[in-house]
Structure 1
Amino acid sequence: MKQELKTKQSLMYLNGKWVGEDLAELRVLNPANGEVVGCVPNGGEAETNEAIEFAYEAFQTWSQTTAYERAEHLKRLHALMLEHQEELAKTMTLEMGKPINESRGEVVSAAAYLEWFAEEGKRVYGETIPTHTPGKRLQVWRKPVGVVAAITPWNFPVAMLTRKIGPALAAGCTIVIKPSGESPLTAVKLVELCEKAGFPKGVINLVTGSSSKIGKAIMENEKVRKVTFTGSTEVGKMLIRQSADQVKRLSLELGGHAPFIVLDDANLDAAVEGVVASAFRNAGQTCICTNRIYVQAGIHDAFVDKFAAAVKALKVGNGIDETVQIGPVINQASLEKVAHHVEDALSKGASLVTGGAPLDDAKGNFYAPTVLCNVTPEMVVMHEETFGPVAPIQKVETVEEAVAFANDTQYGLAAYVYTESVSAGTKLIEQLNYGIVGWNDGVPTAVQAPFGGMKESGIGREGGRQGIEDYLETQFVSIGVN
């Protein structure tokens, strides 16, 4: 597939109009080669407050539409995303490096959230409560929370958007979108499709630019009643503090440090396949990817040999190449962090099985898929999220030891367990403090299932029937009757 550079500046979308020509530009770079693939306006507080005002005005009418009307808009957007799958996927790969086949898959799964919530919005039910006196009727009503601000990360530029747009719009909320400055072009493409889908003016608004300035405006503006954020735990904590003055509602999908436990009775081939899929998807740049692997002693050596062979066979390169399986990390800082984690482990006694260095012959931010063994808990890689193509393996003797290591973290997003024993797997998972667990499954997410973490990995859930709840208020109505 031939790469084509995009040099024309993309614009922001406010109240049904594309604006921002008069603002300074922010360049978007391809991490595979450093080339400019596009530009977006460098907006700030003024543009954000304007977007919020438009969203607030549109909420007055959008919230009064029926769930069926809102569903029709979402279904049209779903169809348009599938129709423009290749364009969205290519834009995604060019701006953040994901292999093109992964990008295509992300578009399909992202579109599925729109279809799911189009239907789930029709199932927002109230209640009738038995009364304690003949002169009253008691009811529970559900209402949209109001204007929503969605702040999304660079690593899943379209899926993280639709997981927020879908439930927000289905519930009757309006939205202001702030995509990552590393990968804003996919968001622009998606909003272009929103315009084609015929959403009324002001229902969907897009601002690009300074994260600090846009974030400040969002958190200080009282008309924003809910913020949904996917990103680091550090930023999530900051948003919690900033939300306190107005008691804004928050949904936070934050950092992770996923353990992958392989017991002696595991299917070895399945475990290897699962950990490759988890640890090296998107070059290890996913919030639920495997960060540390605990393998029981009886199967450890055979697992390392088979896993190393699978990792060595992975093809690294520019994601626009159809045959590439591992793309670049997002930027130079990420490349340096990956290298630091590997160097720290090796300096403290870890053994390098394969990889272990940047690819010097490549133009972009490429790091060789890496496997480490003889890893110990004091190494940085075992307690800090790497967000790169590194898989450290620690040998454990017992199930209890594996669980103790797995839970020894402030994070609680995802964990993985491979065992053929229903009894052992059930008891083990009951002890794991994680919001998502893949049991003999390296890719456990699904649109119809809740996604989110425990502890410092977040607040709330996205996807599933639970995903629309945080966009709704519960109102109790007591009616006096004669």
Structure 2
Amino acid sequence: MTTYSDLYLFIDGERIQGGGRREIPVMNPSTEEVLGHVPAASQDDLERALAAAQRGFEVWRKVSAYERAKILRRAAELLRERKEEIAHLMTLEQGKTLPESRMEVGNLPDILDWDADEGRRIYGRIIPSRAAGQRQLVVREPIGPVATFTPWNYPGLIPLRKVSSVLAAGCSCIIKPAEETAATTLAVLQVFEEAGLPPGVLNIVFGVPDEISTYLIASPIIRAVSFTGSTSVGKHLSEMAARGIKKCVMELGGHAPCIVFDDVRDPYKIAEGAALRKYRNGGQGCVNPSRYFVHEAIFDQFVNRFTEVAANIVVGDGFAAGSKMGPLAHARRLDAMQEIADDSRTHGAHIVAGGKRVGKRGYFWEPTVVTHAPNEALLMREEPFGPAVVINPFSTFEEAVSQANNTVYGLSAYAFTESGSRAIAIADALEVGMVGINTYALGAPDAIGAPETPFGGVKESGYGSEGGTEGLLEYMTVKLISQF
């Protein structure tokens, strides 16, 4: 049994509850029962968090990268010790199956270990001078307090990846995680305090998203903004940040195409792997493939196997031993899936698997497969962010590229081919920030993204990178020092 945690704000090293604050219910998506209530931060709370972040930054920026690395590594060890506890909280709140939760939590310590080391390798350079006796140095410095905003679909990975990079760069942080998965994110981030992070360097607040983001981003204390979420919200936050000339990292929506060429050796195996990858985390992932373009010569083979696998995915409580896909995170996703199904029928597409809710309790939806959808269909235009996928045939390379790029999104894309020249050509042609060729692994095979590789998109999927060296440099400024 999982014991649900008390929920709180964490400001200047203090856990804050009660005090007449508004409370937001947290639901179990499998049962629709209330698990607990998370306190919403008041303006006074946000002012205190901003002041704490400013003081924390002045302390943390003076701590050497070598000493910062020790704290990050200690936090990593604490996460390893608590893997099972945090995984259970994640499945309870978010709904994903327990094996998926374990995989997510199991990858978190590697992020901290990577950033701990990479933070010690942020080098400057010396530029040869035109004048005798002059030294021209370029150094990198932490940008200042950072406001971060994270969603509910990966409540351990996304908050941890942001906070780890911010801290490794020498900045302080105020994070507003998703209220739907508050206990999970608190359990993940609380290890920093126990690892020895000074008070005020990391502050955690909850509440009405627009109220908190508007207040924090408007403050002159905040010098950078990092957001993961929908494109529409990302545009809004970017506009607010622009008023203060604040740097942004925006990891926004995706609508990942996957192109399967007719030279693949085993279309059945490719289809099987495709279906299993698509419905991971209930399809609630920005890099999950959602539009398949399969060569007409193997289209029927691919669709038949994909549909067979999808129809046999057991949907149920994430704790149940036989479950392969848990519920959606909240009732709003059920409404979105119903809209996609209705719209697909209206536009003459074929729903060959799924297309309806499972049961009457819990936010469960059948793995859904749609074929022959026209470009006007909602599923072709908008990210489903759920267990729905469209599979359409193509005949030429040019047609596949045109269809794959026919969207405002540009986060990730995938292609399967046995031709080396075609692999190079398709990787060059796809308008995305990340491409998987003959793999869905954008980094480590069993990870959502390897900490040593950059993660980010183009077009309306955002800008800036998380992970890798790039992820730390986003939170640093460049300074030229010219000295005689």
Give the TM-score of the pair, scaled to structure 2. Answer: 0.96
Residue 110 of structure 1: how far off its partner (Å)? 2.3
Residue of structure 2 in register with 1:450 after alignment: 454
Q: Is the 8 A contact 1:5 1:36 kept in 2?
A: no
Q: Aligned ranges for residues 359-378 of structure 1 at < 5 Å?
A: 359=358, 361-378=359-376
Q: Which amino acid aligns with 1:21?
A: G
**Distance verdict in 2 for CA 1:296–1:203, change over 3 Å:** same
Q: Is the 8 A contact 1:274 1:440 kept in 2?
A: no
| Structure 1 equivalent of residue 194 of structure 2 | 196
Among 425, 430, 433, the alignment partner of 1:432 is 430
Q: What amino acid does structure 2 have at the position aligned with 1:321?
A: A
> Compared with structure 1, are the counterparts of its residues 18 and 470 closer, same or farther at alpha carbon in structure 2 (3 Å cutoff)?
same
Q: Displacement of 1:473 after TM fit? A: 0.7
* Equivalent pair of 1:28/1:182 in contact (CA under 8 Å): yes
The answer to whether 1:341 aligns with 2:340 is yes
Question: Which whole-Å CA distance do the structure 2 matches of 1:477 and 1:382 have between them?
Answer: 51
SS at match of 2:179: coil
- Extract unaligned runs of 5+ from structure 2: 443-448
What does residue 253 of structure 2 align with? 255
Cα contact 1:277–1:442 (8 A) shared by 2: no
Give, in whole Å, the separation in 1 of the partners of 2:30 and 2:329. Answer: 8
Amino acid at match of 2:81: E
Q: C-alpha separation between the residues in 2 aligned to 1:346 and 1:125?
A: 56
Letter in 2 for 1:461: S
Q: Is the 8 A contact 2:295 2:394 kept in 1?
A: yes
1:122 match: secondary structure: helix
Question: How many Å apart are 1:191 and its aligned residue?
Answer: 2.9
Superposition deviation, residue 135 in structure 1: 3.3
Deviations 1:360-413 (A, max 9, x none): x24101110111222221211011111110121111111110100010111100
Distance 1:297 1:245 in 2: 50
Matched, 1:319 2:318: yes
- Matched with 2:404 is 406
In 1, are the aligned partners of 2:344 and 2:351 still within 8 Å (CA)?
Answer: no
Does the 8 A contact of 1:95 with 1:183 survive in 2? yes
Q: How does 1:17-96 map to 2 (within 5 A)?
A: 17-22=14-19, 23-96=21-94
CA distance in 2, matches of 1:89, 1:460: 29
Q: Map 1:130-209 to 2 at 5 A.
A: 130-209=128-207
Opposite residue 478 of structure 2, the aligned amino acid is T
1:230 maps to 2:234: no
Give the CA deviation at 1:316. Answer: 0.5
Tell me what 2:238 maps to.
240
User: Which residue matches 2:329?
Assistant: 330
Amino acid at match of 2:366: A
Contact 1:278/1:443 (<8 A) preserved: no
TM-superposed deviation, 1:34: 0.5
Does the 8 Å contact 1:411/1:455 carry over to 2?
yes
| Match among 386, 389, 401 for residue 387 of structure 2 | 389
Corresponding residue number in structure 1 for 2:111:
113
1:26–1:40 Cα contact (<8 Å) kept? yes
SS in 1 for 2:258: strand
Tell me which stretches of 4 or more aligned residues in structure 1 moved more than 4 Å.
none
Q: One-letter code of the match for 1:15?
A: D
CA RMSD of aligned residues (A): 1.3
1:358 maps to a residue whose letter is R
* Distance in structure 2 (CA, Å) of the matches to 1:90 and 1:331: 18
Deviates more, 1:260-269 or 1:79-88: 260-269
Contact residue 147 and residue 174 of structure 2 kept, 8 A: yes
2:445 counterpart residue number: none
Q: CA deviation at 1:5?
A: 5.9
Higher mean alpha-carbon deviation, 293-302 vs 191-200, is at 191-200
Q: Bigger shift: 175-184 or 185-194?
A: 185-194
Q: How far apart, in 2, do the equivalents of 1:190 and 1:391 lie?
A: 32
Does the alignment pair 1:291 with 2:290?
Answer: yes
**d(CA) in 2 for partners of 1:350, 1:325:** 27
Residue 469 of structure 1 aligns with which residue? 473
Letter in 1 for 2:7: S
Q: How many residues align?
A: 476
Larger mean CA deviation between 41-50 and 302-311 belongs to 41-50
Distance apart, 1:270 and its partner CA? 4.0
Q: Distance in 1 between matches of 2:105 and 2:249?
A: 23
- For normalisation by structure 1, the TM-score amounts to 0.96
Which amino acid counterpart does residue 38 of structure 2 have in structure 1?
V
SS of aligned partner of 2:214: helix
Aligned residue for 1:412, secondary structure, equals: coil
1:317–1:324 CA contact under 8 A, matched in 2? yes
**Does the Cα contact within 8 Å between 1:274 and 1:441 map onto a contact in 2?**
no
- 2-side partners of 1:237 and 1:228: how far apart? 12
User: Residues 277 and 435 from structure 1, CA distance in 2 versus in 1: closer, same or farther, beyond 3 angstroms?
Assistant: farther
Instruction: Indicate the percent of aligned positions where both proteins have the same amino acid.
Output: 38
What is the aligned partner in structure 2 of residue 13 from structure 1?
10
Counterpart amino acid of residue 432 in structure 2: Y
Cα displacement (A) at 1:148: 0.9
DSSP 3-state at the match of 1:184: helix
Any stretches of 5+ residues in structure 1 without a counterpart? none
Whole-angstrom CA distance in 2 between matches of 1:427 and 1:143: 39
Provide the secondary structure at the position in 2 that maps to 1:456.
helix
Select the residue among 94, 97, 101 that pairs with 2:95: 97
2:126 maps to what in 1? Answer: 128
CA distance in 2, matches of 1:269, 1:171: 46
SS at 1:183 equivalent: helix
Deviation at 1:183, TM superposition (A): 1.4
Q: Distance in 2 between matches of 1:151 and 1:447?
A: 19
Residues 111/362 of structure 1: CA separation in 2 closer, same or farther (3 Å cut): farther
